[in-house]
Amino acid sequence: MGGDVGPEVVIAGAELARERYPELRFQLYGREADIRAALASAPRLAAEAEIVPVDGVVLGSDKPSQAIRRAKSTSMGLAVEAVKSGRASACVSAGNTGALMAMAKLALRTMEGIHRPALVALMPTLKNDAVVLDLGANTECDAENLVQFAVMGAAFARTVLGLDRPKVAILNIGEEDMKGTESIRDAALLLREAAGDLPMHFLGNVEGNGIAEGNIDVIVTDGFSGNIALKTAEGTARLVTGLLANAYRASWFTKLGYLFSRSALRALRDQLDPNNHNGAVFLGLNGVVVKSHGGANVKGFANAIGVAHDLIAQDINSRIQDDLANFAAHRSLPMTLAR
């Protein structure tokens, strides 16, 4: 029932995802009449999907505390509960981000060895997509949190991007080791000393202007800085496309130039389209929960379901647990933190 449009996009997105992944089965939580109306345009999905009628809906304006109190009577709350009980393998929602995070954390709890879950998503770069976390779940993080984010982010990159040993760096105000907060310096030291025991290449620090270059596969940061970086990138993409549109409208000559460059501009638009990178994940929970952008279109929501599919098929939580175990074994050795 979430997102800017609601069931229409969710149902059509599920229908598209079903075509891509025929083995998937869906449980649709929400107001039955609205769901059945949307299913009229998706007959193949309608024949296989299970409708779980729920009248209660989490609104975009609801505070997480309000949503939690009504969790057992809302479509979002019951969908998350289905993951906890094992009735579903994953939950995908385009609803209220704060409410979904709060419900998921309360119901599923964090994995053993993880102090805080992180919100992770893909960001386009000049080369390939990059994994960025945390994107807003934790505004303040200590060194241990950042190290755990690095481990989870590397596992996510191996799962979703197919990388054997992703390149990992911490977002900082400079590339030098002495730059940044104490938490960042300590996290960098821990990761550098444990690099041989983890399936990643730790490259140290990366500045904000280095994210888009595409030389880093996983960018680790606290939720405050990560959310700002994400929103800045989204705004910059809109700025670039807007400036190009204005430039091509400036004269008859520029309009003629547009005709010759349409294919290149179309490729640029597709690369910057957030629907092609849709599907943020709450990593570190005992279950898979994927957050679709509220403004996602049909293709975007199908892509969010695709992320959930990949995480389940690759058993990402087992990967994270194995990596954490290796790191914990390394931590038993003497280690000095930078002060």
Amino acid identity of residue 264, one-letter, is A
Within a 10 A sphere around the Cβ of 112, how many other Cβ atoms?
Answer: 9
What the chain holds in terms of domains, given with CATH numbers, is: 1-108 (no CATH), 118-275+320-331 (3.40.718.10)
Confidence at residue 338, expressed as pLDDT on a 0 to 100 scale: 37
Q: Does the pLDDT of residue 333 top 50, yes or no?
A: no
Helix (H, G, I), strand (E, B) or coil at 152: helix
Mean of all residue pLDDT scores within the chain: 87
Beta bridge partners of 169: 219
User: Does pLDDT of 99 surpass 50?
Assistant: yes
222, 228 in Cβ contact below 8 A?
A: no
Q: Which residue has the higher pLDDT, 2 or 334?
A: 2
**Distance (Å) of CA 228 to CA 106, 158, 222, 223, 234:** 26, 25, 10, 8, 10
CB-count exposure of residue 85 (10 Å: 0-12, 13-18, 19+): exposed
Give just the sign of the alpha carbon dihedral 29, 35, 41, 46: positive
- Asked whether the predicted pLDDT for residue 270 surpasses 60, the reply is yes
* Interval 156-179: pLDDT, tens: 999 888 898 999 999 999 888 888
pLDDT at 331: 62
Rounded to whole angstroms, the Cα distance separating 207 from 76 reads: 37
Q: What is residue 248's predicted lDDT score, i.e. its pLDDT? A: 77
Nearest Cα neighbor of 40 from 30, 52, 49 is 49
Average pLDDT over residues 121-131: 88
Q: Whole-model pTM? A: 0.85
d(CA 104, CA 117): 10
Query: pLDDT exceeding 90 applies to what percent of the chain?
Result: 51
User: What are the pLDDT digits (tens) for 11-64?
Assistant: 999 999 999 999 999 999 999 999 999 999 998 898 889 999 999 999 988 898
